[in-house]
Amino acid sequence: MSRYPETRLRRLRQSAPLRALVRETSLEPRQLVLPMFVREGLTEAAPIGSMPGVAQHSLDSLRRAATDAADAGVGGVMLFGVPEVRDAVGSGADDPDGILNVATAAIATEVGDALVVQTDLCLDEFTDHGHCGVLDARGAVDNDATLDRYRSMALAQAAAGSQLLGLSGMMDGQVAALRDALDAAGFQDTLLLAYSAKYASAFYGPFREAVDSQLRGDRRTYQMDAGNRREGVREALFDVNEGADIVMVKPAMAFLDVLREVRDAVDVPVWAYQVSGEYAMIEAAAANGWIDRRAAVLESLLSIRRAGADAVLTYWAVEAARWLAGR
């Protein structure tokens, strides 16, 4: 019997061109979506302290940033609005003159032919209590009353020019409710991205600064428990059955096992959101010289793709797209 291995897997790794030729998973600019924040009342972009390189935008700086994203070849932008005035029911969310709908119309005009303009459909940025829905007399989120607000938001966002609505509120029945409302109003072509497996995560911290969150308490009664894997798959299956065009797992890196199982369970595109805390950790480690920033960013994105994501929402979308294009 030979003292040497009969199979030498290292043959496939001996040069960069060979490694590229046999690579199982690719990462391309078109698979990246850039989340963007637009804040009412700003005249210029305002940096977000906990997310170096990310800003709250004015309408003008948002247009410029969206144009940069289109030029970099990213697949889409996801818009989040930060209003000046909030109330208990999030009135600004479905106001045609509200910041998110005005920004959506502007970006759809600016870059709607070059990438997919997407909007976050949730009340948390617009309520004075910071929850993703309206509250009942006991102070709990009222699922069905919230769906009525979501229907109105969906129609407002579709009318403003959003091509894809990101349903991030985690209300039961939200996909079916919004599909019915959109279809009845003639918006049959508006896509629904269901944040199906959205976990109550510690990794959302910097996002709270980005949207000036007014949250009191937590969202554990409607976002998922971090210990539940099978339930994430069940949520995705429910959303597909209700008419979701795409399903989401959020956060990404701490839930790659859920992402893989959802990908295996459904026959629609599956996306993942590399959230603010994931971004901030890598940026902080790189700033301290502990890791190679570019290598860590690209490896993190590749790992999410390898786990099964067809596209990734990431705050590095534009920078990573330029790296991948050799610019």
CATH of the domain at 249: 3.20.20.70
Distance (Å, rounded) from C-alpha 286 to C-alpha 302?
Answer: 18
Task: Report the alpha-carbon angle 186-192-194, nearest 5.
Answer: 150
Contact call for residues 60 and 38 (beta carbons, < 8 A): no
- Residue 281, pLDDT score: 97
Is 66 among the domain residues? yes
Q: How far apart are CA 277 and CA 116, in angstroms?
A: 25
Q: Which of 35, 56, 36 is nearest to 45 (CA)?
A: 56
Q: Does residue 138 lie in a domain region?
A: yes
Q: How many domains does the chain have?
A: 1
Residue 95 lies in a domain: yes
Q: CA-CA-CA-CA torsion for 192, 198, 202, 205, nearest 10 degrees? A: 10
Dihedral of the CA atoms 302, 47, 203, 102 (nearest 10)?
-90
- Provide the residue-wise pLDDT of the chain in tens; the chain has 327 residues: 667 888 889 999 999 999 999 999 999 999 999 999 999 999 999 999 999 999 999 999 999 999 999 999 999 999 999 999 999 999 999 999 999 999 999 999 999 999 999 999 999 999 999 999 999 999 999 999 999 999 999 999 999 999 999 999 999 999 999 999 999 999 999 999 999 999 999 999 888 888 888 887 789 899 999 999 999 999 999 999 999 999 999 999 999 999 999 999 999 999 999 999 999 999 999 999 999 999 999 999 999 999 999 999 999 999 999 999 986
C-alpha 322, offset from chain centre: 20
For residue 13, tell me if it sits in a domain: no
Q: Which pLDDT score, from 0 to 100, does residue 6 have?
A: 83
Q: Which residue has the tokens 């003292």?
A: 3
Residue 20 Cα to chain centre, angstroms: 29
- Give me the domain span that covers residue 116: 26-324
β-strand 116-121 against 76-82: which pairing, if any? parallel
Identify the active-site residue in 63, 250, 263, 305: 250
In three-state secondary structure terms, 76 is strand
d(Cα 223, Cα 62) in Å, to the nearest integer?
29
At a CB cut-off of 8 Å and minimum separation 6, what does 189 contact?
none
pLDDT of residue 212: 84
CA distance linking residue 273 with residue 254, whole number of Å: 11
pLDDT attached to residue 300: 98
Which DSSP symbol is given to 316?
T
Q: Is residue 98 part of a domain?
A: yes
Q: In what helix (H) or strand (E) does residue 272 lie, and over which residues does it extend?
A: strand 270-273
Both tokens of 120, joined, read 């976050």
Q: Is residue 14 part of a domain?
A: no
Determine the pLDDT at residue 136: 96
* CA–CA gap between residue 255 and residue 272 (Å, rounded): 9
End-to-end CA distance of the chain: 52
Structure pTM?
0.95
Per residue in 192-211, is it b (16+ CB within 10 Å) or e — as a string?
Answer: bbbbbbbbebebbebbebbb
**Structural tokens at position 58:** 């004015």
For residue 17, being part of any structural domain is answered with: no
Answer yes or no: is 20 within a domain.
no
- Hunting for tokens 């976990």 — which residue is that? 199
Whether the Cβ atoms of residue 264 and residue 309 lie closer than 8 Å to each other: no
Q: Which of 39, 198, 219, 305 is catalytic?
A: 198
Active site residue 250: yes
Question: Three-state SS for 260?
Answer: helix
